[in-house]
Chains A and B, each alone.
Chain A
């Protein structure tokens, strides 16, 4: 079995979820690496979009900003923020990846603040950026994150970006487009999906080296479990070779 670190595992798992011919809006860092890896392996025709306007670039290097020159290098289009967001709103974007300081059992994400007083936060983060828009409007939202009880909590201080809100049909009753929502939460320990009825986070596979107990102990709320729990497919030699040699040769993300 190939040697890999946890970020490499998460990126390879994320990449495998991006099928050929699909569209994905990515940010900088691991999500961009996952989309690049997918493009260089099983999804040569995946269309990568960046929220500042880049459409289907041939990425020469990892972008530093979702609006820098790399994001539209030899692209199909160097468009605008409204162009990308309206394409999402029209239902043409399949996937997006989000990050955040906290996530709850319905996949709601906080990237705004820690504290109880919005006007005077204990810790202020950047805010939504494009996250709320992408979580609202793309078909399937994924998250790659290290898992612990502080991050995976139902005491979320602020819902920046919508998951399934309060569960059940609440997301659609709130007015968000039908059929959209969180799809996969990819952590260093496991892969989670969401229960069809309750819309609660549900473990579908466990990463090698971790137990069911590890996964639950490092989560601040009760997880649901699929009937059969698989072991997560680990990175192949060929995926790791491409990831290390072509996607992130400087180990800008892989070395974290």
Chain B
């Protein structure tokens, strides 16, 4: 009864005032998913090819992992290298991924939960300049909100109710809407489903069909793989399908979500890959330091991304296998000999 009184007191339900960048309509999504291939077919490809074929200027993208943990760095570099523009970006737990795409000025609209920062490492001066320039259209959310928006899409819905955001400016500059629970009278905030056009996720291992294993904390990647229209996996290694079928409860992403698979060892570098290698803190610090000077940073990006033909060259440029061995020792907490 108390809750009902609260609901009546607040009969004027509020709406976030900022733009909703994507279409939350569940039937429109179903029409798309009706046409998506469910064939169990080999999907091996290359970074260059998948970015060319599956990502188009103007698309809205989601990136797997957690900022500088289990991120598809090779895909991010290739998006910059191919000069993709006018993308929409889900800034959900984004850090180094955001930093790379901001360096390429690839997106011009952004759903913000967490951007610019690299957590305990500090803020990215270049990404900050980009966001303070006013050229990027923004809508505010939070990490849980973007998780639930992606989850709503993964469930095939157009929204999910939740109990966060209300009463704040984060809500005011979002595109969510308050609603009343038809059962209890409780006020909730309805978060619109987020169906990205394209998602790239880095996994530990998958087969050639895209059946994937992921280890460690998973952020929102299971839902992101289901919610996104086109999904590209990069993987530390390809495994035989028998390994999937021997242990089906371990399948983290099933093949029908996946459009293409690229084998990319050390693919999360300079990010952390759980149980494989730790983040390269020295290299990430270099980014943050050099970004203070825009001219120097441009030279840095020219060398690191435009000057490298592919991700292997980038790995070589930053220490190659010897560096990877060191990062593996840090990850597994032993002393490198």
Contacts and interface: CB of A to CB of B under 8 A. Distances in A.
Contact of B147 (A68, A82, A158, A175): A82
Contact of B222 (A80, A129, A176): A80
B218 interface: yes
Interface in A112-136: 112, 118-133, 136
A8 interface: no
Given A123-B132, A174-B167, A130 B216 contact: no
B163 A177 contact: yes
Contacts of B119: 27-28, 64-66
A129 B114 CA distance: 4
A53 B219 CA distance: 6
Contacts of A175: 6, 10, 163, 166-167, 178, 186-189
Contact of A65 (B120, B147, B166): B120
Interface in A14-73: 27-29, 50-54, 60, 63-69, 71-72
B145 interface: yes
A124 B173 CA distance: 14
B109 to A, nearest CB: 12
A234 to B, nearest CB: 27
B259 interface: no
B44 interface: no
Nearest to B121: A64
B215 interface: yes
Nearest to A68: B272
A126 B170 CA distance: 12
B114 A128 contact: yes
A153 B117 CA distance: 24
Contacts of A158: 169
Interface string A127-168: 111111100110000000000000000000011111001000
Contacts of A226: none
A64 B219 contact: no
B144 A52 contact: no
A173 interface: yes
Contacts of A64: 119-121, 279, 281
Interface in B102-144: 112-117, 119-121, 123, 128, 131-132, 134, 137-138, 140-144
A122 B129 CA distance: 10
A78 B204 CA distance: 15
Interface in A161-215: 161-162, 165, 170-177
B69 interface: yes
A132 B174 CA distance: 13
B275 A69 contact: yes
Interface in B54-79: 65-69
A50 B69 CA distance: 14
- Counting chain A residues whose Cβ lies within 8 A of the other chain, the interface size class is 35 or more
A160 B66 contact: no
A89 interface: yes
Interface of A is mostly: loop
A65 B114 contact: no
Contacts of A159: 167-170
B151 A82 contact: yes
Contact of B113 (A50, A63, A128): A128
B120 A29 contact: yes
A85 interface: yes
A81 interface: yes
B172 to A, nearest CB: 8
Contacts of B93: 52, 67, 81, 129
A79 B166 contact: no
Contact of A82 (B9, B91, B220, B279): B220
Contacts of B116: 124-127
B40 interface: no
Interface of A: 27-29, 50-54, 60, 63-69, 71-72, 78-82, 85, 88-89, 108, 112, 118-133, 136-137, 158-162, 165, 170-177
Given A52-B93, A66-B119, A123-B132, 14 more contacts: A27-B119, A28-B119, A65-B95, A68-B279, A69-B274, A72-B274, A79-B218, A119-B134, A127-B91, A130-B113, A132-B142, A133-B143, A158-B169, A159-B170
27 contacts: A29-B120, A50-B217, A64-B120, A65-B69, A66-B119, A67-B66, A72-B216, A78-B274, A80-B217, A80-B219, A81-B220, A85-B148, A89-B163, A119-B137, A119-B138, A121-B131, A125-B116, A126-B116, A127-B116, A127-B142, A129-B143, A133-B145, A136-B164, A137-B164, A165-B167, A175-B167, A175-B178
Interface of B: 6, 9-10, 65-69, 91, 93, 95, 112-117, 119-121, 123, 128, 131-132, 134, 137-138, 140-145, 147-148, 151, 162-170, 173, 178, 186-189, 215-223, 272, 274-275, 278-279, 281, 331, 333
